[in-house]
Amino acid sequence: MPVPPEHLLYPRRRYGMDHERYSWSMLAERAPVAWPHGANLAVWVNVAVQFFPLNQSGVPFAPPGGMSTPYPDLRHFTLRDYGNRVGLFRCIDALDAFGIRPTFSINAAIAERYPRLLERLAGRGDEILASSWHMDTLHHGEMDIDEEAALIDRALRALREGTGQPVTGWLSPAGAQSRNTPDLLAASGVRYMGDWLNDDLPYAFRTKSGELTALPLSLELDDAFIIANNLHSEWEYAEQIRDACDYLLAEAEETGGGRLLALSVHPWVLGQPHRIAAFEAVLEHIAAQACVWAASASEIVAAWTEQQAAA
């Protein structure tokens, strides 16, 4: 049967968005963003330090990258552990070699299970943001609000105590949220989140406890998505990242406004000995560009927020 006319008549129906979380805004029509040091492109390299439980519940879905064969799935469990034991340090060495500062998104279970690893990462002085408790603590629409609030509080408290940092950034496992997640994050002192992917620049996101900044962390340029999901080679990954970098730089030059290149790096993927050279090639290409500003996530958010306040 055809949809009746009254189906399309509801209070929030209008041009743009049918919600109040953020304002309707076309990228081409916004005031230009100017990054520090005259840069046209801000680069956020987010290195994921994750814990995948062997006995995952998979509620309401199995987490991407999680266990996929009957318990105990030691093959995938130990491969993920390889990322934290070996691959992570190859990725860090590559980033340091090209002077590109990473931000580490960390499952808070790392603070409990691998405190020396957390201590070592915090000791570098790089920014650490929270990624819930572990990869199987998924935020979703059927979650009780008090249960979710307690989970967020537990994760933030563990990372803040374990690092001595304020930890004001957030990435949900699998990028999944409930309708309450942004409100609970803002109420817990989080200032930006990377789960919403619908832009090439930060944007203001409204919550019941004030404003968050949505800092989109690209899925299309995620190493696990390109290599493990799309089944492209590591050198195809490198080509795609170089293409994105060059295009965004050219677009920024043409429009007179800055752009954001956000890369999600999983050490259990790129930290493999047969892939690390491709990651190094990506970093070499980025570092060779004259108009690139490689910064932490919160530095990018601060630069953008300052300009919005002055506009």
Residue 158 located in a structural domain? yes
223: left (phi over 0), alpha (psi -120 to 50) or beta: alpha
Query: Nearest CA to 56 among 80, 36, 34?
Result: 80
Residue 9 located in a structural domain? no
Look up the CATH number of the domain holding residue 274: 3.20.20.370
Residue 17 located in a structural domain? no
- Provide the 3-class DSSP secondary structure of residue 212: strand
Residue 257 located in a structural domain? yes
Q: Which residues touch 98 (CB under 8 Å, ≥6 apart)?
A: 280, 283, 284, 286, 287
Q: Residue 3's pLDDT is what?
A: 82
Instruction: Say how far apart CA 27 and CA 291 lie, in whole Å.
Output: 20
Q: Residue 268's pLDDT is what?
A: 98
pTM to 2 decimal places: 0.96
Q: Residue 119's pLDDT is what?
A: 97
Number of domains in the chain: 1
- Other C-beta atoms closer than 10 Å to the C-beta of 230 total 13
Q: Residue 290's pLDDT is what?
A: 95
Residues in the chain, total: 311
Could you tell me whether strands 203-207 and 210-214 are parallel, antiparallel, or unpaired per DSSP bridges?
A: antiparallel
Q: Per-residue pLDDT for the chain (311 aa), expressed as one digit of tens each?
A: 788 888 777 788 888 888 899 999 999 889 999 999 999 999 999 999 999 999 999 999 999 999 999 999 999 999 999 999 999 999 999 999 999 999 999 999 999 999 999 999 999 999 999 999 999 999 999 999 999 999 999 999 999 999 999 999 999 999 999 999 999 999 999 999 999 999 999 999 999 999 999 999 999 999 999 999 999 999 999 999 999 999 999 999 999 999 999 999 999 999 999 999 999 999 999 999 999 999 999 999 999 999 998 87
Residue 235 located in a structural domain? yes
Q: Residue 262's pLDDT is what?
A: 98
Residue 23 located in a structural domain? no
Residue 6 located in a structural domain? no
**What single DSSP character describes residue 7?**
G
Question: Which range of residues forms the domain containing residue 271?
Answer: 34-310
Q: Residue 215's pLDDT is what?
A: 98
- Other C-beta atoms closer than 10 Å to the C-beta of 297 total 28
Residue 25 located in a structural domain? no
Q: Residue 310's pLDDT is what?
A: 84
Q: Residue 14's pLDDT is what?
A: 80
Q: Residue 88's pLDDT is what?
A: 98
In this structure, are residues 123 and 309 in contact, taking their beta carbons and an 8 Å threshold? no
- Other C-beta atoms closer than 10 Å to the C-beta of 204 total 15
